[in-house]
Amino acid sequence: MSHLQFHVKKPLIEHHMPGGKSKERFFLFSLAGIQFTHILDFMIMMPLGPDFIRELNINTHEFGLLLSSYTFAAAIAGVFATYFVDRFERRALLLSLYVCFIIATLVCGLAPDYHSLFIARAFAGAFGGILGSLVQTIIADSIPFERRGKALGTVMSAFSVSTVAGVPLSLFLANNIPSLGWRAPFIFIALISSLILYLGYRNIPKISGHLGHSHAGSRLSQIWNIFVAHQHLRAFIFMALIMLTGFSVIPYIALYLTSNVGIDNSYISLIYLCGGIATLMSSRLIGHMADRYGKVKVFRVLAVISLVPLLVTTNLMPVPLWVVLINSTAFFVLVSGRMIPAMAIVSQVVEAKIRGTFMSLVGSVQMLASGLASVIAGVVVTIGSDGKMEHYNLVGYGAALCGLLTFWLVGYIHTDKQAH
């Protein structure tokens, strides 16, 4: 399978980009908009937990299932998508899936009961999961490798915008439109998505350079060959370890800060706001540095430095709010910042003609690993008789170990010399 390695392809749509930089900017903005809406659709579930539990009359276990219905549907859909993602022109596929996502999100907002919401969440997850990896595939197909870090940084800043603006605004709507309550954010996301759909229709060019390649053998054996190629397998393990590092710690930060550090619940939104703004401001810079100094070098620096706020977070004693803000902001910037060079490294492991299939598998691995991380951490962490969280430090040590493994493994996936 050595022919699958290190093909840094010429971008497939350079000739489709009349209007140069401004056209590219609108193109990236459209992709960022798609990322923003499907990430917000996923993230809004967590702060709405108390509303669901109260209004749908469900327990915390059922709420957990509601969260995982999205994650696991996204993982399964990602594997299923490998059957068709490289067989269609990218623009048509992206916009069609986005329409399906908008409908599923609207249905979430109109769901009459828990079971219909559960099913609608699974559909939203299925379409959202494919959209995420397809957007990254389109960037890899469209933007030359030497500028890809910055482009990925631009599109991945959608994650920060959803934290900074999307989540607080959605919560504001849920709290201030009593007739809709928890339904308001989903209707809001569906409306915003419709505008972004129009933008995408206008600004995303046709991408068909990956078509016309003969696919030898059955589709299942092709996918299996893509999955087990040594270089690809390393990339999947690398991605899984990155997700385990972050998502074993992140779901329990708010609970730990309120129960163990003594931070008032009303300050949790401020902590996410500061982290989101700082991540938004730093993501393009991290992408630029990855392009300039080498993706592996920048990833390794971030992987090591991020362990400091991670271990502080999981071992924190009662401290003033400003200490928490400095540490949590550093945590969000560095832990999410690793993803920018990581995605650029992983996306170029593979030839353009099978990149869609490969990135769908990467997306599935990410979803499975993040779901698994929060489940494992949930088993380790316990609530003591005094209401305080116990064993969160053990989760931190496990996460740090996964982080160190990514530092070592990245050298086996790519070396910065290969890009030049």
Q: Which domain holds residue 314?
A: 2-6+14-207+217-419
pLDDT value of residue 21 = 72
Q: Is residue 117 part of a domain?
A: yes
Q: Identify which of 405, 400, 413, 402 has the alpha carbon closest to the alpha carbon of residue 295.
A: 413
CB 295 within 8 A of CB 153: no
Helix (H) / strand (E) element for 299: namely helix 295-305
Please tell me the total count of domains within the chain: 1
Report the alpha-carbon distance of residue 93 to residue 359 in Å, rounded. Answer: 15
The residues, any chain, with a CB within 8 Å of residue 3's CB and separated by 6 or more, are 351
pTM over 0.75: no
Note the pLDDT of residue 258.
78
Q: What is the pLDDT of residue 3?
A: 38
Q: Where are the beta strands (DSSP E) in 13-158?
A: none
352 domain residue, yes or no: yes
- Tokens 């309120």 identify what position? 258
- The secondary structure of 238-249 as a DSSP string is HHHHHHHHHHTT
Q: With respect to residue 163, please indicate whether it lies within any of the assigned structural domains.
A: yes
In a domain, 212, yes or no: no
Residue 55's pLDDT is 85
Specify if 350 maps to a domain.
yes
State how far the Cα of 351 lies from the Cα of 29, in Å rounded to an integer.
25
Looking at residue 299, what is its pLDDT? 95
Per-run averaged pLDDT (10 residues), the chain, 420 residues = 36 47 81 90 76 73 75 84 78 93 96 94 92 83 79 78 78 82 93 93 77 60 79 92 89 80 78 84 90 93 96 94 95 92 88 78 85 77 77 94 95 69
In a domain, 64, yes or no: yes
Task: State residue 218's pLDDT score.
Answer: 64
The residues near 315 (Cβ < 8 Å, ≥ 6 apart) are 392, 393, 396
Q: Assess if residue 293 is contained within a domain.
A: yes
Exposed, middle or buried, 18 (CB in 10 Å: 0-12/13-18/19+)? exposed
Which pLDDT does position 72 carry in this prediction?
Answer: 83
CATH number at 248 reads 1.20.1250.20
